[in-house]
Amino acid sequence: MEELWGRRVLLTKQFSAVLDAYQTFPAMIDQGAYMRCTRCNTELLKTAILLPSGFYYCPSCIQMGRIDSSLQLIHQAEPANQTREVFLDWQGTLTPAQEEISIALCHSLAQKKPHLIHAVTGAGKTEILFEAIYRALKKGGRVALASPRVDVCLELYPRLQEVFPKETIALLYGGNEQKYTYTSLVICTTHQLLHFYHAFDFLIVDEVDSFPFQGDKKLAYAVSQATKEDSCLTYLTATPPQALLKEIQASFIISQLPARFHRRPLPEPEFIWWNHWAAHSKKGTHLGKLYQLIDQLSQKNHVLLFCPSIHLMDCLFQHVQKHFPDLQVEKVHADDDQRKEKVTKMRQHHYQLFLCTTILERGVTFENVSVIILGANHPVFTKATLVQISGRVDRKGAYNFGRVCFLYDEQTVAMKLALKEIKLNNQLARKRGLVDEL
């Protein structure tokens, strides 16, 4: 049954008729005082998860459907790989630096070695993958491109479909109504990997440093379970945490790309001091500095205004709307029902000023934008977040004087480190002859 190949899902009536040919696992394993969930590997104190029926349940992965100790998981092995025809339709060319990494990645794939691609924002990471994905599919392998963030999956899907027009691609994320069917190429959130077991020959995890992947043991387990024993695991990131680099440096092949494909340096953030930005933004007092900045930036580009909280964004939205009656202004946050539509409209240049929370820090590409980070010293803006947000500017198209402005009232370590990292990448890129000066 194709639907079960490489999957590990709850045994339901639908599958029980053909049980013989399948492998089953107990959903939860008794470990004395603890129960361990087979799906997410969480160990839970029995007394905390006892049901009135006498069975135990796992609260840790409950968003994927309730699992308890009376149940079983079912799995069927992937069929053996068979070489086949694959059609890659990409007319672009890689820069020599991208090409070098693409070749190295194909090598890792052939050798089944883990690989980390550390490439700056806007470096063209996705294009680097095409050749390796093509080769893996051609050998009859199964490939997944997973990201902790839904927005990233939604942006990757049309791009991959365009390049592999003859492949059926499954797009899997929580809340997607589409029924699961077997495909050789899968784009999914890292949570969805919990439903796979020994499925993938080539698993790429994009934005490996981002929430919720970082620090969630469940998702690291999901990755380890979803790959075949003989497979190539690849991590992509623009902002690898030190702890991750340390953990993998002995075992992973690491490729670094400090420059963007268009050979322009990364925009370096400008620090703009604005005392009591939080209070003023809430009350709508002394907003002159912010208004002036919006006015300047919106002459040339659309403006993304990142806010540290939804409440502050809502307050500010009202003030700026009143002050700029002729400007098209919109706002978005994670739980916004129209999130997808609004982001699409922003991509189509409908809004001159777009207020948002950190949900747009990565994975999205808008043309001709400048960025303001309101309260860059707020704890929500970590170094990686600041680097990622700065990386939204000047990603594609002709150079349009996009700027990155950190509004702050007290400098933080994160701000200083973000600036340092961006400058360092530019220096490295210059040294390697990968950028042209503006």
Q: Which residues bind to Zn ion, rule: CB under 5 A?
A: 37, 39-40, 58, 60-61
- Using left for φ > 0, alpha for ψ between -120 and 50, and beta otherwise, residue 348 falls in alpha
CB of 194 to Zn ion, least distance (A): 8
Of the pair 60, 382, the CB lying nearest Zn ion is at 60
Question: Shortest distance, CB of residue 56 to Zn ion, whole angstroms?
Answer: 11
Is the CB of 37 or the CB of 188 nearer to Zn ion? 37
Q: Which is nearer to Zn ion, 39 or 142 (CB)?
A: 39
User: Which residue, 9 or 374, has its beta carbon nearer to Zn ion?
Assistant: 9
Of 60 and 377, CB closest to Zn ion: 60
Residue nearest to Zn ion (CB): 37
* Separation between Cα atoms, residue 4 and residue 335, nearest integer Å: 33
Q: How far is the CB of 47 from Zn ion (least distance, A)?
A: 17
Nearer to Zn ion, 40 or 364 (CB): 40
Minimum Å gap between C-beta 58 and Zn ion is 3
Write down the least CB distance from residue 376 to Zn ion, Å: 38
Return d(Cα 108, Cα 146) in angstroms, integer. Answer: 18
Residue of 165, 223, 158 lying closest to 187 (CA atoms) = 158
Question: Could you tell me the smallest distance in angstroms from the CB atom of residue 32 to Zn ion?
Answer: 18
Smallest separation (angstroms) from Zn ion to the CB of 73: 11
Cβ closer to Zn ion: 220 or 417? 220
Q: In the complex, what is the shortest distance from the CB of residue 332 to Zn ion, in angstroms, rounded to a whole number? A: 32
Cβ partners under 8 Å of residue 210, min gap 6: 147, 148, 149, 362, 384
CB of 258 to Zn ion, least distance (A): 40
Tell me whether residue 220 or residue 428 sits nearer to Zn ion (CB atom). Answer: 220
Pick 40 or 136: Cβ nearer Zn ion: 40
Describe the crossing of helices 310-323 and 288-300 by its angle, rounded to 10 degrees. Answer: 70
